[in-house]
Amino acid sequence: MVGGGQLARMTHQAAVSLGIRLRVLSAGPADSAAQVCPDLRVGDHRSLADLREFAEGCDVLTFDHEHVPGEHVAALQHAGVTVRPGAQALRHTQDKLVMRERLVGLGLPCPRYRAVRTLADVRSFAARHGWPVVLKAISGGYDGRGVWVCGSPAQAADVLAHGIPLFAEEHVRFRRELAALVARSPHGQGAAFPVVQTVQRDGVCHEVLAPAPELDPNRAARVAGLALRIAAELGVTGLLAVELFETGDGLLVNELAMRPHNSGHWTIEGARTSQFEQHLRAVTDLPLGSPRLAAPKIALANVFGGDGRDPRARLAHVMAADPAAKIHLYGKAPRPGRKIGHVTVLGDASDEMAALRARAVRAASYLRSGPDEDQ
């Protein structure tokens, strides 16, 4: 697995059970996965030489993030390395304009968009679809950001000034955000986890509710089917996460990711097969595991870095307050705003989702900042 973040860390936990030896390419031994996985290779995921050396002796290469240059992925495949997902599929997560064009070509509902180069382009887009306008980096981003909601031409001008390729998207007034997570194996087998609701703030996922509360079963089936279809059409091997907007009218596809995804961390305890095990099964071409729920209702809250204190110093309080909360810490320095863990709370059919959410948020909030602050 290229990348030593928390996704590789949790993939290692799943690999241990299956007797699969995970090798990790990471920037250094302090990385989240590097702390827990013995087969660590230090290297740069942007260096083809490092990638080639890393791939030597691996049965299959997969990814913890989208940042390996597409041409490197293609070069590895050309050299005979088994890479899953492959360059053809990954292109759609590395070039968002390609992704949009492909999804629209498949007849799938997407927000309206157009490539923009100048402020005049943005103004003309806004004239049709109104302000605010969402500007998105076509690939990568600027200073860690790739999405800007611009309320005015002046704000759009600031974003254009970064000089990176952008496209404009209508600002969708959604009711809520949903995420569909599916796996597809090289054999073509597919499996869909139950559709979840995500709660995002400033483009960052704070909570996940599984299954998405009060989602119409027909709509849930349609969303899962849509994600399976995208996986098949794009030739994805491994996991595919599809983030969607649910609006008054229906659904719009927002983003794609081809790896374990934050919206799927609840599966560790909440599904018969965790997304990490499922990704391993898919990329090693083993039969996929059952994606069914292991509990009727599940709430997850992400833990962010807060006051810089090690969240482990706060475990005692959280564990005493809620002995059934499942705590996951990523071994990352608790810098403010950084995702450093998550908490999952599992409920029975009779539990109120609001109560499960409150428990998860309370635990995550305490791990972030102790008793002094509400989240």
Give me the helices (H) in 185-310, please. Answer: 217-234, 267-270, 275-283
Does 326 help bind a copy of itself (rule: CB under 8 A)? yes
Torsion, Cα 157 158 161 164, to 10 degrees, reads -100
**Cα 182 to chain centroid, rounded:** 12
Does 265 help bind a copy of itself (rule: CB under 8 A)? no
Indicate the residue among 22 and 137 with the shorter CB distance to a copy of itself.
Answer: 22
Does 129 help bind a copy of itself (rule: CB under 8 A)? no
Indicate the residue among 4 and 111 with the shorter CB distance to a copy of itself.
Answer: 4
In the Cβ-directed half-sphere of 93, how many Cα atoms lie within 13 Å?
A: 25
Does 35 help bind a copy of itself (rule: CB under 8 A)? yes
Indicate the residue among 93 and 185 with the shorter CB distance to a copy of itself.
Answer: 185
Q: Which amino acid is at 170?
A: E
Which of these, 115, 292, 94, 111, lies nearest to 193 by C-alpha position?
292
**Segment interacting with a copy of itself, rule: CB under 8 A, options 29-37, 74-82, 135-143, 165-173:** 29-37
**Segment interacting with a copy of itself, rule: CB under 8 A, options 85-93, 141-149, 162-170, 324-332:** 324-332
Give me the helices (H) in the chain, please. Answer: 6-18, 48-55, 70-78, 87-94, 96-105, 119-129, 153-160, 217-234, 267-270, 275-283, 315-321, 353-369
Q: How far apart are CA 5 and CA 260, in angstroms?
A: 11
- Contact of 158 with 149, CB cutoff 8 Å: no
Does 115 help bind a copy of itself (rule: CB under 8 A)? no
Among 40, 99, 183, 299, binds a copy of itself (CB under 8 A): 40
Does 371 help bind a copy of itself (rule: CB under 8 A)? no
**Segment interacting with a copy of itself, rule: CB under 8 A, options 17-25, 84-92, 134-142, 198-206:** 17-25
Does 149 help bind a copy of itself (rule: CB under 8 A)? no
**Segment interacting with a copy of itself, rule: CB under 8 A, options 4-12, 46-54, 126-134, 349-357:** 4-12
Does 273 help bind a copy of itself (rule: CB under 8 A)? yes
Which positions lie near a copy of itself, rule CB under 8 A?
A: 9-10, 12-13, 16-21, 34-38, 40, 191, 269, 272-273, 281, 286-290, 292, 294-295, 311-312, 315-316, 319-320, 323-324, 326-331, 341, 346
